[in-house]
């Protein structure tokens, strides 16, 4: 029987966390969306006389992400009213609520240490029966949970959604070495029956399946563009609709993913490269590094390979 998911907690309200929360809301699940507590007031908050202790400020990041759902394209919600099923919060004030969830999804930055610290926090309030999953693009599920208890690890696995979650049918499920097979089976049923995904079980290898291949393709294309003196739009014209990929031309995809995230994801393989040849492919190209340093992160900052209009 499919495990009933009534309440979910999504931690990390960026591109993927907000999109996953929207997909859960579309499926009728109430969702607490958490992010970190801001360290600085915005000019608007200062004008209103707010302080860093005010709830509106402390919950600002997740609240802003929910606010954007109505304006994001492609639309992440079937019905804008479903946004009411998502409640914003911050991880410090709402940690105990994790213990009331059926499913907790970690969707924070692609960084092993950050994810390990967060799992330790989640474990403080976790109870048996609560499924905990990570949306990592390719960090080892075993390594991430190595510091957690055996009991927690039986309930922990990777659930890798693709961007944008509402439109991308694929869900990679990555069991860890300790994950209970019954939890894997439950997650597969939830993915297929509740969220309408096509589920692929992947091994816990760097970048799993899709990103191992996808990152490779994007990096090789970027290097070919530079070597051949082609422009971004020329490459996108060829690698988009002309090749039967209506929405996924190379550099539009990179802008959608986020260049900072892409650099982290390529590094997952680079750091564990099995050969010099693999190392040379997955090394971050200088162009990408420069763009990230300039804050040209793609759609989320308004400037990437393309400028958002």
Among 23, 59, 87, 136, interactor with ligand NAD by CB under 6 A: 136
Q: What is the CA radius of gyration of the chain?
A: 19
Residue 204 binds to ligand NAD (criterion: CB under 6 A): no
Among 10, 33, 77, 108, interactor with ligand NAD by CB under 6 A: 108
Ranges within 263-302 binding ligand NAD (CB under 6 A):
265, 300
Among 5, 9, 10, 13, interactor with ligand NAD by CB under 6 A: 13
- Give me the least distance between CB of 86 and ligand NAD, in Å please: 14
Ranges within 22-51 binding ligand NAD (CB under 6 A):
34-36
Query: Which residues are CB-contacts of 86 (< 8 A; sequence separation ≥ 6)?
Result: 21, 22, 24, 25, 30, 31, 32, 33, 66, 69
Give whichever of 182 and 213 is closer to ligand NAD, judged by the CB atom.
213
Among 5, 12, 132, 252, interactor with ligand NAD by CB under 6 A: 12
Backbone φ and ψ of 231, nearest 5°: -100, 165
Among 29, 69, 107, 148, interactor with ligand NAD by CB under 6 A: 107
Residue 118 binds to ligand NAD (criterion: CB under 6 A): yes
Residue 14 binds to ligand NAD (criterion: CB under 6 A): yes
The number of residues that bind ligand NAD (CB under 6 A) is: 28
Interface region with ligand NAD, contact rule CB under 6 A, candidates 52-60, 133-141, 222-230, 235-243: 133-141
Among 5, 10, 15, 269, interactor with ligand NAD by CB under 6 A: 15
- Give me the least distance between CB of 276 and ligand NAD, in Å please: 26
Interface region with ligand NAD, contact rule CB under 6 A, candidates 51-59, 135-143, 151-159, 202-210: 135-143
Binding string, residues 249-268; x marks residues near ligand NAD by CB under 6 A: --------xx--x---x---
Q: Which residues bind ligand NAD (CB under 6 A)?
A: 11-17, 34-36, 61, 91, 107-110, 114, 118, 135-137, 162-163, 257-258, 261, 265, 300
């Amino acid at each position: 029987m499919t495990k009933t998911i009534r309440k979910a907690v999504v931690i990390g309200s960026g591109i993927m966390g907000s999109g996953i929360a929207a997909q859960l809301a579309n499926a009728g699940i109430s969702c607490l969306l958490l992010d970190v507590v801001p360290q600085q007031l915005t000019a608007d908050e200062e004008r209103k006389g707010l302080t860093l202790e005010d709830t509106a400020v402390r919950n600002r990041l997740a609240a802003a992400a929910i606010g954007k759902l109505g304006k994001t394209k492609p639309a992440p919600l079937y019905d804008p009213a479903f946004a009411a099923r998502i409640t914003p919060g911050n991880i410090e004030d709402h940690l105990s609520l994790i213990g009331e969830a059926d499913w907790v999804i970690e969707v924070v930055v692609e960084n092993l240490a950050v994810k390990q610290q967060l799992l330790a926090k989640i474990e403080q309030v976790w109870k048996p029966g609560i499924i905990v999953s990570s949306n990592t693009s390719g960090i080892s599920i075993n390594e991430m949970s190595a510091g957690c208890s055996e009991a927690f690890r039986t309930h922990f696995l990777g659930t890798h959604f693709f961007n944008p979650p509402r439109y991308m049918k694929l869900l990679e499920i990555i069991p860890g070495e300790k994950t209970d097979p019954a939890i894997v089976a439950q997650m597969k049923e939830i993915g297929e029956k509740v969220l309408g995904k096509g589920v692929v079980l992947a091994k816990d290898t760097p970048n799993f399946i899709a990103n191992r291949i996808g990152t490779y393709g994007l990096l090789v294309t970027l290097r070919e563009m530079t070597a051949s003196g082609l422009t971004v739009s020329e490459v996108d014209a060829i690698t988009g609709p002309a090749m039967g990929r209506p929405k996924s031309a190379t550099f539009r995809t990179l802008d959608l993913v986020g260049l900072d995230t892409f650099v982290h994801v390529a590094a997952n393989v680079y750091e564990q490269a099995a050969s010099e040849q693999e190392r040379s492919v997955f090394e971050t190209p200088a162009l990408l590094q420069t763009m990230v340093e300039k804050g040209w992160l793609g759609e989320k900052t308004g400037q990437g390979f393309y400028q958002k209009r």
